[in-house]
Amino acid sequence: MMMIKKFFIAFISMVFAILASGCAQLMGVSGTANEEATVTPTVIAMPTQLSVQTRVESQTCEIAQQVTIQTDDKQGDLMAWSPQGDQLAFVQPVNQYSGWYIGDLVIYDLDKKEVVFTSKDKAVFGDLNWAPDGSALAYVELDQGAGIYTVKIAIPKDGNELDIFGDAASTDTFASKKGIISWLSMDDLSVTSICGSDCVRLYQYNYVSRTLNPGDEIRYNENTSLDLVNESNSPDGKWSITLDEKNNSWLSSVAENRISLLLAGTVVNEIKYSNDSRFLALRTNGQVLIYELGCINN
């Protein structure tokens, strides 16, 4: 009888031990003393999840607001920083208030905080492209009288403008739309012109000899001359722009791992950094906003 009692007590003790172990596992408690506990990660809100009212310290100083044309067409770059990074070219409505598709080419100087150049043409279409040394600026212009596009080069220092197509601007039976690929060097500018149904002609303009030389033909879908280039990241890699579905623009400082709300509830059509990554320009529907990066407004 005594042995049965001892066996019963041992059996009960074993049952309790098993139950205790199972409960510990259900509660997430480890039976090993030196095992680290699992920590649930903290959920961090992404920019798209933040309200536009969220207070985040600014990382910029707004330098200027300028009026620009509006468009829903492919017109290439409608803003372009000079290679030196101290001047911004863009297209401004002729009335300096509001306009669509065409306007004046203007250059805003950040040191002087004023417009230092305005084109003689009143029908600049876009696709702005600076020469490598910053002494000249190529752009597409519409001859409103003839209804034909051409490519011109402005020399801001003396105010002169060169029409590189001249009388040869009509390259098909319609408007002969033009585009700028790039400056290959200070001597050569590569441009395009529509030459017929699904036909785009490549040209090379020699800036020294003032001669325009036709090249190969390509198809419409191969022509990238009027594509808009948006710069999400600064040239030095220290800054990044993110646009969310609420049309908020977020500026990230990559090195400092900081993010701030730059522009709330506003559609941004074009983003351009200066070559030295000191300045940032945003083009919205009708405005150019210019910021200095890495400073705080007083």
- Is pTM beyond 0.85? Reply is no
pLDDT of residue 25: 41
Mean pLDDT, rounded, of the chain: 86
**Residues 41, 52: Cα–Cα separation, whole Å:** 25
**Residues 262, 297: Cα–Cα separation, whole Å:** 12
Q: Do 53 and 248 touch, CB atoms closer than 8 A?
A: no
Tokens of 48: 């798209």
pLDDT of residue 34 exceeding 50, the answer is no
**Length of the chain in residues, anyone?**
298
CA distance between the termini of the chain:
92
- H or E element, residue 269: strand 268-273
pLDDT of residue 54: 45
| Structural domains of the chain ordered from first start | 49-293 (2.120.10)
Assign 95 to helix, strand or coil.
coil
Q: How confident is the model at residue 18 (pLDDT cuts 50, 70, 90)?
A: very low
**Residues 70, 285: Cα–Cα separation, whole Å:** 6
pLDDT of residue 66 exceeding 90, the answer is yes
pLDDT of residue 257: 87
For 251-296, write each residue's pLDDT tens digit.
999 988 899 999 999 999 999 999 999 999 999 999 999 999 998 7
Nearest by Cα to 171 from 141, 205, 201: 201
Q: How many CB atoms lie within 10 A of CB 238?
A: 15
